[in-house]
Amino acid sequence: MRILLYTRRGCHLCEAAEDLLAGMGVDVLLVDVDADAAARERFGLRVPVLESGGRTLLEGRFDADLLARALSEAEVEAAAGERVDEPGR
């Protein structure tokens, strides 16, 4: 499961989200919205945004409980999607 965190420099909420994800051992790809025109257009000032599979999991201020719940739900959805796409089903 690929996890993206849309962020920007100087954003205290983004820094807190990065620290929280690192502290929980979550492997995440950071996307600087100011360095990516499409991301900047899509998110504007709405950062941090945590996304998986094209779906927004969390945005703004979040804590460990919200993060754990969102990641768990995303894993369940990803696993269900993998089973549906299996050949012969």
Report the CATH number of the 3-84 domain. Answer: 3.40.30.10
Number of neighbours of residue 75 by Cβ within 10 angstroms = 12
> What residue spans define the domains of the chain?
3-84
Average pLDDT over residues 48-62: 94
User: Which pLDDT belongs to residue 83?
Assistant: 55
Q: CA 26, CA 37: separation in Å to the nearest integer?
A: 26
H or E stretch at 29? strand 29-32
Element (H or E) spanning 56, and its range?
strand 55-59
Average pLDDT over residues 20-49: 93
Q: Provide the Cα torsion 16, 22, 24, 30; round to 10°.
A: 80
